Amino acid sequence: MNDNTAIISEIKRLLGDEPKLAYVRSFGCQLNTSDGEKIKGVLKNAGYGFTEDESEADLIILNTCAVRENAEDRVFGIVGSMKKLKELKPELIIGIAGCMTAQSHVAEKIKRSYPQVDFVLGTSAINGLPRLLLDALNGAGFEADITEYDDFSGTVEQVRGSSFKASVPIMFGCNNFCTYCIVPYVRGRERSRLPEDIVSEVEGLVREGYKEIMLLGQNVNSYGNDLGGEMTFPQLLRRLNDIEGDFWIRFMSSHPKDASKELIDAIFDCEKVAKHLHLPVQSGSDDVLRRMNRRYTAEKYLGIVNDIRSRDPEFSLTTDLIVGFPDETDEDFEATLDIMRTVKYDNIYSFIYSKRSGTRAAEMPDAVSEEEKGKRMRRLLEVQREISTEFYKRFIGRRMRVLVDDKAKKREGFLTGKSSEFIIVEFEGDESLIGRFVDVEITGAMNWAVTGRVI
Ligand code: SAM
Ligand code: SF4
Ligand code: F3S
């Protein structure tokens, strides 16, 4: 690791006694949000406070996502609108971090068309942030650091967004090269953190009172493949389950090609591991799955589902789906609806395919119109609504343990939380329960949540 101590002292000196505020906004997945918490950790060390209001910020960092075109368009729109802020406050510093910066055409575009941006920080370059910041404070002009520092290992200081739910990345990057996906290009190859670093981070979080630990990786099932067989993911789950305390362990994402019997055994054996599995299927058509390079068939996927549901027929599953992959036929789409009806997901995260330049799917011919893709998406959501409306009724009469998240948005006096099964639960209660576990008896079911009363 770089020693940034001298640079940080110099930044502190330049910032002076007046409090300076940073606005850090992360887009995209939870791994990126976790990077945002590390960026905040560096800024806090350098003397910055934080604001949620960009107009009062002295420093703005947008931590970007490149997974779909609309995610990128949004960021360009926001950076564009920041030109005004900079005109009003010329000493404002603007930095762009995250996955968009790893695409050379994007880095070029930022440099060429957005002079309000002071620096670009690559996805493995958090260690380079103090230097970029110091140079910007000294008015050095546009700079970019996309060096791959070894800053993924160890435990880095973070400013966490919640006092009871924490994300803990266990690995970075991805080796899978699904043909539609930009992530392996912008995040590099898989690197697993050392088990002892993960264990000590989780122990520390539990000591601080965190109630939910979310283990993160693009495919947690390949955790440890690069550590010479020292520890597999199911072994890591068992090791973390042994940590004393009252907390839950969740994890994301789990690639079906590597979901093993050992993983399922660990989920059922470990009382702290939440009883929910996010198992992204993407499509129900074998032809589409082959062209996506997912390396499983619908039959193999259903085999995993059967293994789980033979042990608990009502086990909660969620998934990711892509609609309108190049040349997806009506039959392919129907196969996706079929697998949804067979599995009965509690929730789905569905996306219209977005062409990402540099990926293999971007070169594939595509005869399906945007209008047809939109129609399929609406149909898919309708089918899922029917499934969850029916399937959520299984919870009525059950007692569920819920980690209370927040006040309910639209119902005065009500709280919202998530059960171990990752189901949203709404119930009447006092705000003092936020961040705590409560037992709720379920009395009603909607298609997006269940309702009940605290017992
Ligand atoms: N590594 C995770 C996995 O394989 O399950 C997925 C991570 S990705 C950030 C989250 C989801 O975005 C994917 O599961 C996929 O459904 C969706 N996605 C990725 N690339 C996409 C694209 N080009 N167009 C539309 N959706 C995409
Ligand atoms: Fe993208 Fe596939 Fe890697 Fe997930 S497993 S990040 S979808 S390439
Ligand atoms: Fe995540 Fe988006 Fe990057 S989904 S890994 S922030 S491309």
Answer whether 343 contacts ligand 3 (Cβ < 6 A): no
Domain boundaries, the chain: 5-145, 162-274, 277-394, 396-454
Q: Which atom of ligand 1 is nearest to the CA of 219?
A: 1
Question: Candidates 176, 180, 359: which one to mutate for ligand 2, based on the most atoms within 8 Å of Cβ?
Answer: 176
What is the SS3 assignment for the chain? CCCCHHHHHHHHHHHCCCCEEEEEEECCCHHHHHHHHHHHHHHHHCCEEECCCHHHCCEEEEEECCCCHHHHHHHHHHHHHHHHHHHHCCCCEEEEEEHHHHCHHHHHHHHHHCCCCCEEECCCCHHHHHHHHHHHHCCCCCEEECCCCCCCCCCCCCCCCCCCEEEEECEECCCCCCCCCCHHHHHCCCEECCHHHHHHHHHHHHHCCCCEEEEECCCHHHCCHHHCCCCCHHHHHHHHHCCCCCCEEEEECCCHHHCCHHHHHHHHHCCCECCEEECCCECCCHHHHHHCCCCCCHHHHHHHHHHHHHHCCCCEEEEEEEECCCCCCHHHHHHHHHHHHHHCCCEEEEEECCCCCCCCHHHCCCCCCHHHHHHHHHHHHHHHHHHHHHHHHHHCCCEEEEEEEEECCCCCCEEEEEECCCCEEEEECCHHHCCCEEEEEEEEECCCCEEEEEC
What separation in Å is there between the alpha carbon of 192 and the centre of ligand 1? Answer: 20
Decide whether 162-274 matches 277-394 in CATH topology: yes
Q: Which atom of ligand 1 is nearest to the CA of 182?
A: 20
pLDDT value of residue 2: 58
Answer whether 65 contacts ligand 3 (Cβ < 6 A): yes
What separation in Å is there between the alpha carbon of 173 and the centre of ligand 1? Answer: 13
Domain 277-394 architecture? 2-Layer Sandwich (3.30)
pLDDT value of residue 126: 87
Which CATH homologous superfamily contains domain 5-145? Answer: Methylthiotransferase, N-terminal domain (3.40.50.12160)
Per-run averaged pLDDT (10 residues), the chain, 455 residues: 83 91 97 94 94 96 96 94 94 96 89 94 89 95 82 73 96 96 94 95 97 97 92 98 98 96 98 98 98 98 98 97 98 98 97 96 96 98 95 96 96 96 97 98 94 96
pLDDT value of residue 153: 55
What separation in Å is there between the alpha carbon of 27 and the centre of ligand 1? Answer: 14
pTM: 0.96
Question: Candidates 25, 26, 27, 29: which one to mutate for ligand 3, based on the most atoms within 8 Å of Cβ?
Answer: 29
Q: Which atom of ligand 1 is nearest to the CA of 178?
A: 4
pLDDT value of residue 152: 56
- What ligand is nearest to the CA atom of residue 28? 3
CATH 3.90.79.10 assigned to domain 396-454? The reply is no
Answer whether 67 contacts ligand 3 (Cβ < 6 A): yes
CATH code reported for the domain at 162-274: 3.30.750.210
Answer whether 29 contacts ligand 3 (Cβ < 6 A): yes
Question: Candidates 74, 100, 186: which one to mutate for ligand 3, based on the most atoms within 8 Å of Cβ?
Answer: 186
Answer whether 66 contacts ligand 3 (Cβ < 6 A): yes
> Which residues form the pocket of ligand 2, taking CB atoms under 6 Å from any ligand atom?
174, 176-178, 181, 183-184, 218-219, 255
